[in-house]
Amino acid sequence: MKMHRSKFIAGIATVAICLAAYQAWRCSQLRREIVTLKQEEAIAAGQIQQISRERDESASKMSALIHDNEYLNRNNLELQKLRNEVARFRNNSTHSGEKLASTKANEASKDGETPPDESEFTEEQKTALRDWREKIMTGNSVNDLDRLQDSLNRWNELFEDPATLEMKPVFKSLKIYLAQRIADLRQEQREILPR
């Protein structure tokens, strides 16, 4: 019976030692898993912070882009209004410039020189005439008399040049128009300068 008892005690001791060894091995394995999980948790926390920063940066950029877009839309509307206004002013000045040109051409015809009939001009001639008249009208003041007189002299030279036959009617019209403009500016100069 003593033998059974000692075998029994030996068996229980063996089982207890095996259980202790298994528990030690299992604890070691769980510790390793805990360390791994803590490392993964730290990595995940860093990624969450990075994603949060990127989200905040994206939100601020989006807000700035929305603000810029609204600003540009307001500017585009203002720009469109200004373009429409400029176009309206150009149309008005073109029409008034054409009326002024025809009035002055009529006055010049009273002085003896008859301007050609512009309805017989080609489209190229009409475009050239309109462009040159606009250039004559821009920036003209009493201070520009010398420049305008030089222009009139060049028109006279071009009018006399045989190479410009097809543009002679345009040059004649411009010559009359420019001469009238110079006369108007000289009159304005006489009114401004003391006697």
Tens digits of per-residue pLDDT, 116-134? 666 667 777 777 767 766 7
Q: Does residue 105 belong to any structural domain of this protein? A: no
Q: What is the pLDDT of residue 38?
A: 93
Q: Does residue 150 belong to any structural domain of this protein? A: yes
Q: What is the mean pLDDT of residues 81-109?
A: 61
Range of the domain at 167: 113-192
What confidence tier does 100 reach under pLDDT thresholds 50, 70, 90? low
Q: What is the mean pLDDT of residues 168-178?
A: 73
Which pairs from 138-146 meet CB under 8 Å and 24+ separation?
A: 140/181, 140/185, 141/185, 142/185, 142/188, 142/189, 142/192, 144/185, 145/182, 145/185, 145/186, 145/189
Q: Kindly tell me the sign of the dihedral angle through the C-alpha atoms of 118, 165, 183, 188.
A: positive
Q: What is the pLDDT of residue 78?
A: 76
Q: What is the pLDDT of residue 89?
A: 73
Q: What is the pLDDT of residue 113?
A: 59
Q: Does residue 154 belong to any structural domain of this protein? A: yes
Higher pLDDT, 33 or 102: 33
Q: Does residue 3 belong to any structural domain of this protein? A: no
- Under 8 Å CB-to-CB from 152, ≥6 apart: which residues? 175, 178, 179, 182
Instruction: For the chain, state the CA radius of gyration.
Output: 49
Q: What is the pLDDT of residue 26?
A: 94
What confidence tier does 109 reach under pLDDT thresholds 50, 70, 90? very low
The neighbour count for residue 168, using CB atoms within 10 Å, is: 17
Q: Does residue 57 belong to any structural domain of this protein? A: no
Q: Does residue 14 belong to any structural domain of this protein? A: no
Q: What is the mean pLDDT of residues 43-61?
A: 92
CA dihedral 48, 52, 53, 57 (to 10 degrees): 150
Higher pLDDT, 53 or 116: 53
Please give the Cα distance from 176 to 171 (Å, whole number). 9
Q: Does residue 168 belong to any structural domain of this protein? A: yes
Please give the Cα distance from 170 to 172 (Å, whole number). 5
Q: Does residue 173 belong to any structural domain of this protein? A: yes
Angle CA 118–120–121, to nearest 5: 70
Q: Which residue has the tokens 């017989």?
A: 120
Tally of structural domains, the chain: 1
Going from the C-alpha of 108 to that of each of 27, 38, 131, 175, 178, the distances in angstroms are 116, 100, 20, 10, 10
What confidence tier does 163 reach under pLDDT thresholds 50, 70, 90? low
Q: Are 170 and 115 in contact (CB under 8 A)?
A: no
